[in-house]
Amino acid sequence: MNFGFLVGVFGVLILSHAAYSTIQYRGLLKIMEEEFSRPPINVILELIIGLALCMWAALTFPGKFLSIHPDSDENRAVSLPDNSDFMIFNHRGRLFPPEIDMKF
């Protein structure tokens, strides 16, 4: 499996570890009967690192992004579908049927 996927897994693990530490910290504060305003500095740092890793993995893992401009070179309209609801069969090609043998 490629590098982006591993980085993504690592980022998710870091985020879940940060969540677990925050829960533990809150439990500690409840014992000491203090207010919970924000998680400690190292957890915030862990959150930022986890965010950066997950974003990098999300952008690199899925592969090539498709163009969304309607006038870009890949998406521009080249032709319209041939109107097959109104297709008629008496054209000149009628006189040159291809040789098809069939066994079904």
- Residue 27 binds other proteins, judged by CB under 8 A: no
In whole angstroms, how far apart are CA 102 and each of 3, 26, 59, 95, 99?
Answer: 52, 78, 52, 20, 10
Read off the DSSP letter of residue 34: -
Structure tokens that stand for 12 in this block? 């998710």
CA–CA–CA angle 34, 14, 56 (5° rounding): 130
Segment contacting other proteins by CB under 8 A, of 8-16, 47-55, 56-64, 81-89: 81-89
Tell the smallest beta-carbon distance from residue 72 to other proteins (Å): 6
- Residue 68 binds other proteins, judged by CB under 8 A: no
- Residue 71 binds other proteins, judged by CB under 8 A: yes
- Residue 94 binds other proteins, judged by CB under 8 A: yes
- Residue closer to other proteins (CB basis): 35 or 71: 71
Q: Hey, CA dihedral for 81, 82, 86, 89, is it positive or negative?
A: negative
* Site residues for other proteins per CB under 8 A: 69-90, 93-95, 97-98, 100, 102-104
